[in-house]
Structure 1
C-alpha cells in the first residue's frame, strides 16, 4: 500500500505542495468546503491521477459523474507517476456547488510538484544497492527473505590505529569503507523545490550507539569522509540542491546483537515542509530502510582448516614440531605464538575462539576473546586483530571461572532435528547441574552466544570435570556417510571392555605408560582390580551418558552417529575428574588428519592397544590418525592437544540469512 498523506485545502488562497513519487495525497474536500456547499467537481492536469472515494468505492476520474456529494467519508486521492520539470507544473482544481446553483460557490486550487526521495540499501542481498519493490522497512529470514545487512566493523584496517575501526569516528582507508554497507539517498525533481524544504537522514535514539554513518559528498578523497550519524548524532541535514541525484552513505555496525539489541537498525529519510515563517516544519514524507547486524558465527571441526595456532614454551619443542608436521600434511599454515607474547600461557584454545562475520558484499574472520585473561590476554589484540581480521570480547564482571575458557565452547556440524534445520550447527557449552555452588559460563558470554540466533546454543553438563570443558569428553570428525560427521564421546565403559578383552587374551600383565620416566606403570590386571577407580568411572560414564542423551535430542543423532573412544578418568567426585591417561577425544582435527593425544596404553604385540582401537574406529572413515606425545607438556598440566592448539577455519558456504532461526 502506498504511503498516504492528508492535505488541507483552502478556497481563500492556492495551496502548493510536493507529491513524492510512489505516494498518494488524500485531499480533505469536506474540510475546505464553503458552508453552503453540498457537492463538488474535481479536475486536474494530465500528469495527475485522480480518484474519488465514495461509499467505500474508488472511482478513477474523469468519470460519468460530474458532481460528487459532500458526504462524510468522501475523499479525493491523487498520485503522480512522472517527475515534474518545473515547480508547480501540475494542478488540481476543486469547484464547490450549492443546492441550486450551476455557478461554483467556491474554488480550491492545488499546485503540485512531483519529486523522488528514496532511501535504498542492498535489500535483495545481491551485494549491490538496487531499487526494489520489496518492503525496505521490514527484515525477513529465509531463502526468499529480504532486508539489508550490516557488518560490525571490528577489524583494524590501519595498522597504526590503536583501536578496532568500530571504536573510532574516522575513515582511515579505502579498505575501511569496503567493510561498510552502502545506503543510497536519491533525490530527483526540480532542484529549486528543495531550497524551500529540508531533507533529514536520521536514526532512532535507541539505535544510535549501534551504528556509524559516513558521508564524503561528491569527493573520493578519504579526508572528505565525515562521521554524520550515530553515537550522539541522531540527525543529518542533507542539502539536495548541492548534492548529486544520488548521495552514497557508508554504514558500519558498532555492536553485535546482544541482550537488549536484536540486531535490527532502522534509518529514515524525512522530507520537511515549512508552511509559513515562524511555524515549525512538518514532515510530509519518510522513507525507511532496515538493516540487520550480521551475527558472529563459529565454525565446527569438520570445516576446512585455514590456519593453525600453537604456543611455543620452554618444554614443548617436540609438540610444536608434531603440530607443524600435521599442519604441513593438511597444507595449512602454522602460526606459532612465541613465549614473549604468550607469557607462559600455553592454552590457546581457552583464550580465543575463531569465527567470522558475513554480508553479501564482504566476509572476514573475527576472533572472540574469552574473559579468562591470563598470559595470552593481549595476544588477540596485538597479534590477530588487523586488516580484515576482527575482534570481539565479553567480560565476566562476576569473575571468570574455568567454564568461561573457550575449550568449553564448541559447535556441532550442520544438523536437522525433527524437521528443524540448523545449517550452521548448534553451539555447545558446558555448565553444571542446577545445584548450589556449581560453575556456569559467564552470563555475558552466554547471552552474547544466544543473541546471535543462528547457532542456537545447547547446554551440556561439564562441571563433573576438574577443569570443566566440553572438549574433554566430546569432539566431531568428518565422515563420508550419514550426516557427514561422527560425534566422538569419551567412554570409560568402552575402555573397561577393551582392557577386559586384552586380559582374557592373556595380556593382563601389559602395563601403561611405557617409556615415560617417573610415571607409575599400572598393568591391565591392576587397573581392572582397582574397585575405587571402577566406581569413579561408573559415575563418570553416567555423566557422559546424560550428555549423550542431550546431544542425541538436540542434534537429532542416532547411535550409529556416535563413536565411543576408550578413556578412563581419575579424581574425586567433589573435586572433579581428570583424564587417567592422555584424553584422546581432545584432538586436533585438520580435514582428514587427526592429531590425537598419545595415550601410552598397554602394549599388545608391540602395539598400543588403545591406539589400535581408535584407529579401527576412525580409519574406516578415511581419517588418518597421528598420535602426538603431550604427556609432560600438556597432560600433566590438565590439558591435551586440542587445549594447546587453535584453528581458524573456512566459513560455511551456506549464507546465514537464508536460514530461519
Structure 2
C-alpha cells in the first residue's frame, strides 16, 4: 500500500530522531522547499509524474488560496463544496470539530504474540500495532485513518510551495500521510507533509493517524492543530496559513444499557468445578435465545472480569454511522519483579484479542504496594449508565471505581492507569472507599441494570440488614432449622451448611454484616449525591457478610454480582438459601424485584470454585457489548 519517497536534500532524519520544534520547522520550511524545487537536488515526482518548480517563479502580488478541510461537521466525509466544513474549523466543541483514531489495532495480524513472557515481554507486546510504522497496512488500516484535503488553487504561480504540519505536543503523537499515485505515504517527519506547486494547484488528500491515546494530559491533551502553510520561494514574501483542530477519540467503556454480544470466561486446566460452571453458563447462553459469542481462554486464572476490560473508540462515518475500533485494556496488576513480565499473566489475553479493528492498551506503574493491586482489577471499575443531574448530562455514563482512603496513599489504584482513564474525559469517574472489603471491588456491592423507568436504569445495592430481617422473619415463622448451603462445603471440605438459627446466633457474621451495612450506606450516599438516585431507582439485594483476613466478604452468594446479557436477561449466582415451603426466599425476592422491571433471571451454580474464593458470576465472566447509538463527541466533553 505504500512506497518510499525520496524527498531529496536535505536528507530525511530517521524516525526516532528528535524533530525540530514547530517554530524552527516553520523557519526551515522555505529552505527545505527551495531545495526540493531546485534542480540540483534531483527530481521529486508528484502525483502526475511532473517535476514541481520547473516553471520560472512568478513576480508580483501573491494572494494564495489556503484552505485545509477536515470532517468538521462530522458526517464522515470531507467536503470541499460545503462551506460548513470551513466554519470554526480551528475550534472543537460538542457540535463541531474533526476527529481521528489512535491506530492501535493490528489489521494484518503482523504483531507477534505469546503467553510466554520470555519469548516476548509485556512491554514488547504493547509496542506493536499499526501506528508503530510509517506504512498504511492495507485497505482495512486505511479505514482507520481520518482524512484531510486541501482546496485546489489551480492558478497557483510557479514557485508556490507548502506544507502541512501538526503543531505542538501533538506532533509526536500523530502521523500524517499524503496520497501519491493512489497510495498514502509518510515522509521523513511523521508530523509534516510537503506540498509541491502541482499539488497545491490540484489539491491533495491527506490522512492522519494517532500513534497513541491520551495517557497524561499534561503531556498531550488529545487535540491536534493541523496547519496548512503556503508561501513562495522568496524569502521576502509572507506565508499564509489555515488551521484545523482535531481530537483523538477517547476510549469508552461499556455500560449495561446495551446488550452483550461476546461473553468471555477462563478455562483453567485443572478445575473440575470451573469446567462445570462453564458448561452451565454455556447452556444458559444457549437458552437465552440471543445470538452470542462464547469465548473461553485457556488461562489458569479464574477471574475473567478482572484481568482485561473491553471498550471502544470511534469516529464519524458516512450516513450517521460510527467507525468503531474495539479496545481491550489490560489490567495494571504488577505482580512480579521480572522485567519481562511484571504484570498479571492472564492479562496478555488483551493482546491475543488484538487484530483487525481491535486494539489492546497497557499502562502501569511500578512501586505500589502488593496489597493495593486488587484495586486494579476491572471488577473494581464499573460504569454507571447515562443520566442527567442539575442540568449536567453524562450521555455515556460515568466510571464507578473503588479506592482506599486518603490516609493510605500506598493503597490506591495504579496512579498512571487512573490518570489515563480520567484523561479520556467522557466518563468522569465517581470514587468510593472499598478498602473495607476483602477483595476491594465495587462489583461486590453495586451493579446497574436497564429498566423501563423515568431514569432508564436501576441500581442494585447490597443490603445485609435486609438479609438479616428475612432470616429473622423465617425463624419467627418456625423455620429456624431450615438450612442455608445444604450439602455444600467451603474450601478444604469444611462443611458450609448452617441453619437459620445458627446463622443469626453467629456474632462474627452479624458484626461483619453490620460493618458492611454502614460502609455500603456511605457508598450509596456518594452515589445518591452524584447521580440523584432516589429510593424508586434502587433495588435492595439481601445477603450477609463474613469476616476475612483483611476486611469482609460475602457470606451468601452475592446475587447482584451478575452478568447482564440484555435489557431483559441476567445470569446470577444461585444463593443456596434455605427452602421455606419449597422456595428459597432469596431467589424469590430477587426474581420478583427484577421481574417488576421486565428482567428474567437465569440461575447458575457459582459456589465452587468462585464463591468459596470470594467471587461470583460477574467476577468469573467478562463481556463485550454493542456500541451505544449515542456518539461520544456529542457529549460536550
Superposition TM-score, scaled by structure 1 size: 0.78
Whether the 8 Å CA contact 1:482–1:561 is kept in 2: the answer is: no
Deviation at 1:111, TM superposition (A): 4.0
Poorly superposed stretches of 4+, deviation over 3 Å: 86-89, 110-115, 232-235, 280-283
Whether the 8 Å CA contact 1:312–1:338 is kept in 2: the answer is: yes
Distance across 2 between alignment mates of 1:282 and 1:469: 64
Q: How does 1:40-189 map to 2 (within 5 A)?
A: 111-112=60-61, 114-131=63-80, 132=83, 133-141=86-94, 145-162=95-112, 163-189=128-154
Deviation at 1:87, TM superposition (A): 11
Pairwise CA RMSD: 2.1
For the residue of structure 1 that corresponds to 2:539, the secondary structure is strand
Name the CA shift for 1:457/1:272 in 2 (closer, same or farther; >3 Å).
Answer: same
Name the CA shift for 1:437/1:658 in 2 (closer, same or farther; >3 Å).
Answer: closer
For residue 507 of structure 1, the aligned residue among 474, 479, 483 is: 479
Q: Deviations over 1:84-109 (max 9, x none)?
A: xx9999xxxxxxxxxxxxxxxxxxxx
Whether the 8 Å CA contact 2:176–2:191 is kept in 1: the answer is: no
Residue 174 of structure 2 is aligned to residue 211 of structure 1: yes
Equivalent residue number for residue 460 of structure 1: 432
Q: How does 1:118-517 map to 2 (within 5 A)?
A: 118-131=67-80, 132=83, 133-141=86-94, 145-162=95-112, 163-191=128-156, 193=157, 195-217=158-180, 219-220=181-182, 224-228=183-187, 233-241=190-198, 245-259=202-216, 260=218, 261-275=220-234, 280=235, 283-313=238-268, 314-315=271-272, 316-328=274-286, 329-339=288-298, 342=299, 344-361=300-317, 362-372=323-333, 373-382=343-352, 384-399=353-368, 401-436=373-408, 439-517=411-489
Distance across 1 between alignment mates of 2:605 and 2:238: 72
Q: Deviations over 1:275-322 (max 9, x none)?
A: 3xxxx4654201111101111111112211111111123322221122
Name the CA shift for 1:281/1:497 in 2 (closer, same or farther; >3 Å).
Answer: farther
For the residue of structure 2 that corresponds to 1:549, the secondary structure is helix
Name the CA shift for 1:320/1:214 in 2 (closer, same or farther; >3 Å).
Answer: same
Deviation at 1:243, TM superposition (A): 6.3
Deviation at 1:333, TM superposition (A): 2.3
For the residue of structure 1 that corresponds to 2:164, the secondary structure is strand
For the residue of structure 2 that corresponds to 1:216, the secondary structure is strand
Q: Is the strand fraction higher in 1 or 2?
A: 1
My pick for the range that moved more, 576-585 or 159-168, is: 159-168
Larger RCO (alpha carbons 8 Å, 6+ apart): 2
Q: How does 1:511-526 map to 2 (within 5 A)?
A: 511-517=483-489, 518=493, 519-526=495-502
Structure showing greater Rg: 1
Whether the 8 Å CA contact 2:230–2:239 is kept in 1: the answer is: yes
For the residue of structure 1 that corresponds to 2:346, the secondary structure is coil
Name the CA shift for 1:589/1:464 in 2 (closer, same or farther; >3 Å).
Answer: same
Whether the 8 Å CA contact 1:88–1:113 is kept in 2: the answer is: no
Whether the 8 Å CA contact 1:88–1:111 is kept in 2: the answer is: no
Deviation at 1:438, TM superposition (A): 6.2
Equivalent residue number for residue 536 of structure 1: 512
Name the CA shift for 1:604/1:283 in 2 (closer, same or farther; >3 Å).
Answer: farther
Q: How does 1:516-595 map to 2 (within 5 A)?
A: 516-517=488-489, 518=493, 519-571=495-547, 575-591=550-566, 592-595=568-571
Q: Could you list the runs of 5+ residues in structure 1 that have no partner in the other structure?
A: 1-85, 90-109
Distance across 2 between alignment mates of 1:323 and 1:134: 53
Name the CA shift for 1:357/1:437 in 2 (closer, same or farther; >3 Å).
Answer: closer
Distance across 2 between alignment mates of 1:330 and 1:571: 40
Whether the 8 Å CA contact 1:312–1:336 is kept in 2: the answer is: no
Name the CA shift for 1:437/1:392 in 2 (closer, same or farther; >3 Å).
Answer: closer
Q: Could you list the runs of 5+ residues in structure 2 that have no partner in the other structure?
A: 1-54, 113-127, 318-322, 334-342
Matched residues, number: 536
Name the CA shift for 1:319/1:357 in 2 (closer, same or farther; >3 Å).
Answer: same
For residue 640 of structure 1, the aligned residue among 588, 591, 616 is: 616
